[in-house]
């Protein structure tokens, strides 16, 4: 349970550890003991209430009673986005519809949307966990929070909103888009924190600069950013641009929404997964029988431990990362930076490449901006795919500096990733700006 402060606090109120949820201070042993009982309950609950789970467990020859210790989870079958699509819209709900208090959906790029549901208790847990994340990232009761995650079926807007309210903050429910209005409200309402995607914060900062405003002069002190991969270099860019502390928040609709994991402002060393509610695993995406040890990279898989409307068993996120021991919340493990989704991996002449790798390299070159797109083409008559990095230079750079920066980028990509590519330094302001989750990859192969 979240312990709310007895009286309204000012933003300056010093942080008291007593404000942490009791579960945040649990030891690893306590967490794992809690996980075991919750996991046993969840498996039995899912098996008895969701036909798809019953079918899949039966086919795999496992029964919920086979889970005697945490490692036994590896015997159970995975759940994929495809399962949710097949059961569209409500086939995976474990409660009757009159107990479903809210529905969200994620569109994805192809096929049917995936639909997720929440009971009142699920919504309360969700708000509690988002509140934990916001507090870890520096937000305090009494602060004003500008929420620029999109409201609607996307879990970002309403998820972040409920968490900020639960924390005791004052929420400004701006939603995504309308960048001019965002700037106006940030100026007029003087929020302490902003919640949005990293690329959208960049859009807002950029637009401020173009209007002759200084992003460092706003009232903002904290940003809680997620919903898309971002790098340490992008963190540095945004922290410098606004003079703020920027922390990560991670989540996905199928598992809950934002707030599955969140980063502490004191350590800024990756998001702690709230393991009292989710059991994470890292598996080898090419050999799903192989569970990876802490520190090894693989695909992140989640099992929910308390969800009522949509219990989710070994859900394959497609997100590639590592698990490491917790630091500021030692009982809960931390996620490494997400290098990308396996869906977003470009395989160029046998070399695997993620947009975040390009971001990391480009932002170390002072003449280049964080605005870039990746185009994949297959020129006529050629058997090989080509990658073009379209990137904007920093304003005020000369033609010579731009050419030199392009050559450096090309060389650094070759050295660090192993791919040859074309670099197209385009005019500042010419690439599409983010309104939320930014599309970085343009695959033009089918059009040729
Ligand atoms: O993006 C939930 C969310 C909203 C998280 C707001 C954080 C803030 P989906 O639309 O279902 O849900 O997309 C989930 O987005 O599998 C990751 O690939 C990516 N993602 C989410 N957070 C992060 C992050 C929301 N902090 C998918 N870093 C996930 C990297 C992220 N990728």
* pLDDT tens digits for range 272-293: 999 999 999 999 999 999 999 9
pLDDT at 182: 98
| Residue 3 pLDDT > 50 | no
Confidence class for position 10, pLDDT limits 50, 70, 90: very low
Q: Is any ligand 1 atom within 6 A of the Cβ of residue 242?
A: no
* Cα→Cα distances 199→203, 204, 215, 228, 249, Å: 6, 9, 15, 8, 14
Atom index in ligand 1 nearest the CA of residue 253 equals 11
Confidence class for position 349, pLDDT limits 50, 70, 90: confident
Residues 73 and 303: beta-carbon distance below 8 Å? yes
Residue with tokens 């949710």: 84
3-state SS, residue 85: helix
Give 62-120 pLDDT, tens digit per residue: 999 999 999 999 999 999 999 999 999 999 999 999 999 999 998 766 678 999 999 99
Task: Tell me the CA–centroid distance for residue 328 and ligand 1, in Å.
Answer: 22
Burial class (CB in 10 A: 0-12, 13-18, 19+), 151: middle
Q: Is any ligand 1 atom within 6 A of the Cβ of residue 200?
A: no
pLDDT at 260: 98
Q: Is any ligand 1 atom within 6 A of the Cβ of residue 257?
A: yes
Percent of the chain with pLDDT over 90: 89
Q: Is any ligand 1 atom within 6 A of the Cβ of residue 250?
A: yes
Name which residue sits closest to atom 4 of ligand 1, judged by CA: 156
Q: Is any ligand 1 atom within 6 A of the Cβ of residue 340?
A: no
pLDDT at 146: 99
Confidence class for position 16, pLDDT limits 50, 70, 90: low
Name which residue sits closest to atom 20 of ligand 1, judged by CA: 227
d(CA 113, CA 109): 9
Name which residue sits closest to atom 13 of ligand 1, judged by CA: 252
Does this model's pTM top 0.85? yes
| Residue 8 pLDDT > 60 | no
* Phi, psi (rounded to 5 degrees) for 156: -60, -55
Q: How many helices (H) and strands (E) does the chain have?
A: 10, 22
Atom index in ligand 1 nearest the CA of residue 261 equals 26
Name which residue sits closest to atom 14 of ligand 1, judged by CA: 252
d(CA 353, CA 297): 15
Give 157-187 pLDDT, tens digit per residue: 999 999 999 999 999 999 999 999 999 999 9
pLDDT at 107: 75
Residues 43 and 67: beta-carbon distance below 8 Å? yes
| Residue 142 pLDDT > 80 | yes
pLDDT, mean over the chain:
94
pLDDT at 17: 56
Give 304-324 pLDDT, tens digit per residue: 999 999 999 999 999 999 999
Q: Is any ligand 1 atom within 6 A of the Cβ of residue 281?
A: no
pLDDT at 448: 42
Q: Is any ligand 1 atom within 6 A of the Cβ of residue 137?
A: no
Confidence class for position 9, pLDDT limits 50, 70, 90: very low
pLDDT at 11: 44
* Cα→Cα distances 142→30, 98, 165, 166, Å: 32, 35, 10, 11
């Amino acid at each position: 349970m979240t312990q709310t402060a007895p009286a309204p606090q000012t933003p300056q109120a010093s942080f008291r550890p007593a404000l942490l949820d009791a579960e945040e201070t649990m030891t690893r042993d306590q967490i794992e003991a809690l996980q075991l009982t919750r996991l046993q309950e969840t498996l039995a609950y899912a098996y008895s209430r969701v036909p798809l789970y019953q079918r899949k467990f039966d086919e795999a020859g496992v029964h919920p009673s086979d889970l005697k210790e945490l490692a036994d989870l590896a015997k159970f079958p995975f759940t994929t986005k495809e399962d949710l699509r097949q059961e569209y819209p409500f086939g995976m709900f474990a409660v009757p519809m009159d107990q479903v208090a809210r529905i969200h959906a994620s569109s994805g790029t192809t096929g049917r949307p995936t639909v997720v549901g929440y009971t009142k208790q699920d919504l309360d847990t969700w708000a509690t966990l988002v509140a934990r994340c916001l507090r870890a990232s520096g937000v305090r009761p009494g602060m004003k929070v500008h929420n620029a995650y999109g409201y609607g079926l996307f879990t970002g807007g309403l998820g972040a909103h409920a968490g900020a309210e639960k924390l005791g903050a004052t929420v400004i429910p701006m939603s995504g888009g309308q960048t001019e209005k965002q700037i106006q409200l940030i100026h007029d309402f003087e929020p302490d924190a902003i919640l949005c995607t990293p690329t959208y914060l960049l859009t807002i900062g950029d637009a401020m600069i173009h209007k002759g405003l200084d992003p460092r002069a706003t009232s903002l002190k904290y940003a809680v950013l997620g919903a898309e991969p971002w790098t340490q270099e992008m963190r540095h860019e945004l922290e410098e641009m606004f003079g703020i502390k920027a922390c990560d928040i991670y989540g996905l609709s199928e598992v809950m929404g934002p707030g599955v994991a969140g980063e502490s402002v004191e350590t800024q060393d990756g998001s702690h997964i709230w393991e009292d509610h989710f059991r994470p695993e890292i598996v080898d995406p090419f050999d799903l029988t192989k569970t990876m040890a802490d520190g090894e990279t693989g695909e992140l898989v989640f099992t929910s431990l308390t969800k009522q409307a949509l219990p989710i068993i070994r859900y394959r996120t497609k997100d590639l990362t590592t698990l490491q021991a917790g630091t500021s919340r030692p009982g809960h493990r931390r996620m490494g930076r997400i290098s990308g989704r396996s869906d977003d991996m470009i395989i160029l002449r046998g070399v695997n490449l993620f947009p975040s790798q390009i971001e990391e390299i480009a932002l170390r070159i002072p003449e280049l901006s964080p605005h870039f797109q990746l185009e994949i083409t297959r020129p006529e008559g050629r058997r090989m795919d080509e990658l073009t990095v379209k990137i904007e230079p920093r304003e005020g750079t000369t033609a010579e500096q731009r050419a030199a920066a392009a050559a450096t980028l090309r060389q650094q990509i070759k050295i660090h990733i192993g791919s040859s590519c074309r670099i197209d330094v385009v005019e500042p302001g010419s690439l599409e700006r983010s309104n939320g989750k930014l599309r970085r990859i343009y695959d033009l192969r089918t059009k040729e």
